[in-house]
Structure 1
């Protein structure tokens, strides 16, 4: 009687290893981008939390509040796991002009967003509705979907 083959041949195992390598080559960079994007969303959350305070001061005084004034904590006190500080400021104009800028940490975050900033800018105030525009010096692929404009 012939003996029936049991197990896999070397060629079959090499093919499986090659397929896994190809999948890993595609998945790892995509996963790293996903991690950077989730870290950048912390900047959007912290900056977005100050929109009410800045809007209130602007509507009452017509000025852009700075950190440490008008009940807004100092820039370095507003931080997170990946964000080093969130600063408020800007130059007041009839249409707005106030800014909230979140700065990412320079270490302990994904390499594509180290030291990058995310800025929310108040506009459209002269027409009665406040619009916050989001810009960033980070690549678009790292930004939350609510921040669709990256600066070059």
Structure 2
């Protein structure tokens, strides 16, 4: 005597697979732009970090020299590689350049990245009561990189 058995269905149906593909596509559409911004911000940290030794050197120079305000003359702490302020680091994968400039009462560190968009990071230092106060800015603010 033969017993017939009904074949059991195995696997997924086409509609189930299409639903899974649609869910993955939606998640990828949301996740990829957020991930791209995250990687751009991570790359830009090299530019921000490269300004730290120069910033520290300017603060130490201002303390040691007793500077009460930065002036347009180079007599203060306005030169890279002078009076304890390190020279500008060499260009790297992410860092294009760092420059130091003086305005009427401020000192400005400007760093730019090596990307085609040329995003800048600026630190503006002002001496007040014997200490340097820094304000960051530049094109990286609008992009959320710094």
TM-score (norm 1): 0.75
Distance 1:102 1:52, change over 3 A: same
Is contact 1:119-1:136 (8 Å) kept?
Answer: yes
Contact kept in structure 2, 1:42 and 1:80, CA below 8 Å: no
Match of 1:134 among 133, 136, 142: 136
Q: Which consecutive unaligned segments of at least 5 residues does structure 1 have?
A: 108-113, 145-152
How well do the aligned residues superpose, as a CA RMSD in angstroms?
2.1
Query: 2:18 aligned with 1:9, yes or no?
Result: no
How far 1:79 sits from its partner (Å)?
Answer: 3.0
User: SS where residue 119 of structure 1 aligns?
Assistant: strand
Long gaps (5+) in structure 2: 68-75
Task: Describe the shift of the 1:121–1:139 C-alpha distance in structure 2 as closer, same or farther (beyond 3 A).
Answer: closer
Q: Could you list the structure 1 runs, at least 4 aligned residues long, displaced by more than 4 angstroms after superposition.
A: none
1:85, 1:102 within 8 Å by CA — same for their partners in 2?
A: yes
CA contact (8 A) 1:46 1:78 kept: no
d(CA) in 2 for partners of 1:17 and 1:36?
Answer: 28
Number of the residue aligned with 2:41: 37
Aligned residue in 1 for 2:108: 99
Aligned residues: 132
After TM superposition, list the pairs within 5 Å mapping 1:53-132 onto structure 2. Answer: 53-59=57-63, 60=65, 62=67, 63-70=76-83, 72-73=86-87, 75=88, 77-91=89-103, 93=105, 97-107=106-116, 114-123=117-126, 125-132=127-134
